[in-house]
Structure 1
Amino acid sequence: MKAEHKEPTFSSYKNDPKFYDEIFDEDNKVKDVYKTLLNLYSEHSPQDFALLNNKAKASFFNQGITFQVYGEHETKEKIFPFDLFPRIIDSQEWEHIEKGVLQRSKALNEFLWDIYHDKKIIKDGIVPLDLINSSENFLDQMIDLDPPGGIYNHISGTDLIKHSDGEYYVLEDNIRCPSGVSYVICNRTALKRALFGVFNHYQTHTVTNYAENLLEIMETVKPQGVDSPNCVVITPGVYNSAYYEHSYLAKAMGVELVEGRDLFVENDFVYMKTINGPQKVVVIYRRIDDQFIDPLEFKPDSALGVPGLLAAYRRGNVTLVNAPGTGVADDKAVYTYMPQIIKYYLDEEPILKNVHTYHCSRPDELKYVLENIDKLVVKPVDESGGYGIAIGNKLTKEEIEEVKKTIQANPRKYIAQPIMSLSTHATYIEDEESFEPRHVDLRTFTLLGQDKSFVLKGGLTRVALQKGNLVVNSSQGGGSKDTWVLKK
Structure 2
Amino acid sequence: FLEDIYNEQNIIKDGIMPASLIASCPHYLPEIQGIKVPHNIHVHIAGIDLIRGEKGEFYVLEDNLRCPSGVSYMLENREITKRIFPEMFSENNVSMVVNYPMIFHNILVSLSPRNISKPNVVLLTPGVYNSAYYEHTFLARQMGVPLVEGRDLVVNNHKVYMKTTSGLQQVDVIYRRLDDEYLDPLVFKPDSALGVPGLISAYKMGNVALVNAVGNGVADDKAVYAYVPDMIKYYLNEEPILKNVPTYQMENPEERELVFADMENMVIKETNQSGGYGMIMGNKATEEELEAAKIAIVKNPRNFIAQPIIQLSTVPCFIDGELKLRHVDLRPYALCGPNGVQIVPGGLTRVALTEGSLVVNSSQGGGSKDTWIMK
TM-score, normalised via structure 2 length: 0.98
SS in 1 for 2:371: strand
Deviations 1:114-165 (A, max 9, x none): 0111111001110110000000001111111101111111111100001112
Q: How does 1:163-312 map to 2 (within 5 A)?
A: 163-312=53-202
Offset, 1:429: 0.8
Query: Which residue of 239, 256, 266 corresponds with 1:349?
Result: 239
Query: Which residue of 238, 255, 277 corresponds with 1:365?
Result: 255
Equivalent residue, structure 2, for 1:26: none
Query: Which residue of 254, 263, 276 corresponds with 1:386?
Result: 276
Equivalent residue, structure 2, for 1:339: 229
| Whole-Å separation in 2 of the counterparts to 1:133 and 1:353 | 26
Equivalent residue, structure 1, for 2:368: 480
Which letter does structure 2 place at the counterpart of 1:482? D
Equivalent residue, structure 2, for 1:106: none
Equivalent residue, structure 2, for 1:158: 48
Runs of 4+ in structure 1 off by over 4 angstroms are none
| 1:448 has 2:336 as partner | yes
Contact 1:356 1:418 in 2 (8 A): yes
Offset, 1:293: 0.4
Offset, 1:196: 3.6
Which letter does structure 2 place at the counterpart of 1:344? Y
Offset, 1:229: 1.3
Unpaired stretches in structure 1, ≥5 consecutive residues? 1-110
Deviations 1:33-59 (A, max 9, x none): xxxxxxxxxxxxxxxxxxxxxxxxxxx
| Whole-Å separation in 1 of the counterparts to 2:168 and 2:114 | 21
With over 3 angstroms needed to count, the CA separation of the structure-2 counterparts of 1:226 and 1:122, relative to structure 1, is farther
Contact 1:376 1:393 in 2 (8 A): yes
Deviations 1:325-375 (A, max 9, x none): 000001011110111101111111111111100011112111212221111
Which letter does structure 2 place at the counterpart of 1:463? V
Unpaired stretches in structure 2, ≥5 consecutive residues? none
Contact 1:293 1:309 in 2 (8 A): yes
| Whole-Å separation in 2 of the counterparts to 1:352 and 1:268 | 43
Offset, 1:227: 4.1
Q: How does 1:30-45 map to 2 (within 5 A)?
A: none
| Whole-Å separation in 2 of the counterparts to 1:436 and 1:199 | 24
| 1:468 has 2:351 as partner | no
| Whole-Å separation in 1 of the counterparts to 2:261 and 2:65 | 32
Contact 2:154 2:196 in 1 (8 A): yes
| Whole-Å separation in 2 of the counterparts to 1:342 and 1:139 | 23
Identical positions, percent: 56
Offset, 1:199: 2.1
Equivalent residue, structure 1, for 2:302: 412
Equivalent residue, structure 2, for 1:89: none
| 1:140 has 2:30 as partner | yes
Contact 2:114 2:172 in 1 (8 A): no
Deviations 1:12-65 (A, max 9, x none): xxxxxxxxxxxxxxxxxxxxxxxxxxxxxxxxxxxxxxxxxxxxxxxxxxxxxx
Which letter does structure 2 place at the counterpart of 1:348? E
With over 3 angstroms needed to count, the CA separation of the structure-2 counterparts of 1:195 and 1:451, relative to structure 1, is closer
| Whole-Å separation in 1 of the counterparts to 2:137 and 2:104 | 14
| Whole-Å separation in 1 of the counterparts to 2:5 and 2:114 | 24
Deviations 1:255-295 (A, max 9, x none): 00000000000001100000111111010000001110001
Which letter does structure 2 place at the counterpart of 1:461? T
Query: Which residue of 312, 326, 330 corresponds with 1:438?
Result: 326
| Whole-Å separation in 2 of the counterparts to 1:283 and 1:152 | 14
Equivalent residue, structure 2, for 1:59: none
| 1:329 has 2:219 as partner | yes
| Whole-Å separation in 1 of the counterparts to 2:270 and 2:228 | 18
Offset, 1:452: 2.5
SS in 1 for 2:187: coil
Offset, 1:220: 2.1
Which letter does structure 1 place at the counterpart of 2:172? V
Which letter does structure 2 place at the counterpart of 1:452? G
| Whole-Å separation in 2 of the counterparts to 1:383 and 1:249 | 25
Contact 2:65 2:219 in 1 (8 A): yes
**How many residues align structurally?**
375
Contact 1:379 1:414 in 2 (8 A): yes
Contact 1:217 1:453 in 2 (8 A): no
Deviations 1:218-243 (A, max 9, x none): 12222154443110000000110111
Contact 1:149 1:220 in 2 (8 A): no
Offset, 1:453: 1.8
| Whole-Å separation in 1 of the counterparts to 2:114 and 2:102 | 22
| Whole-Å separation in 1 of the counterparts to 2:355 and 2:315 | 12
* CA RMSD, Structure 1 to Structure 2 (Å): 1.1
Offset, 1:408: 1.6
